[in-house]
Amino acid sequence: MGVEVILTYNFPDIIRYTHIQCVAYGALAHRLNAFWRSNTADVVVCVLRLWRIEWGEGGFNYVTNMEGGSDILFDSDIPEIQFFKSQ
């Protein structure tokens, strides 16, 4: 019997000055945890690709990954990320 890994993080949304509740499952949870434990940077930009938004009473609740379909990119060499970090 396997153990299901579930991690919950609060990522700051610096554009709106709030936090985004993020719940990761499975292999992506392991990757997220490994990155977070080894990271020492002052600023990290995360791009969530194909994550599902869970709505609750009153609006937004949290985002979660879909096993095998979602991805998370950390400080990728994407022009928009590099521009954002340079501000």
Domain contains 68: yes
DSSP 8-state class, residue 40: -
Domain contains 1: no
Q: Note whether 22 and 64 are within 8 A (CB).
A: yes
d(CA 26, CA 67): 7
* pLDDT band for position 3 (cuts 50, 70, 90): very low
Segment 16-71, tens digit of pLDDT: 556 778 888 888 888 888 988 898 888 778 888 999 999 988 888 888 999 889 99
Total structural domains within the chain: 1
Give pTM, 2 decimals: 0.66
pLDDT of residue 79: 83
Full residue range of the structural domain in which residue 25 is found: 6-86
Could you count the other beta carbons within 10 Å of the beta carbon of residue 40? 5
Domain contains 57: yes
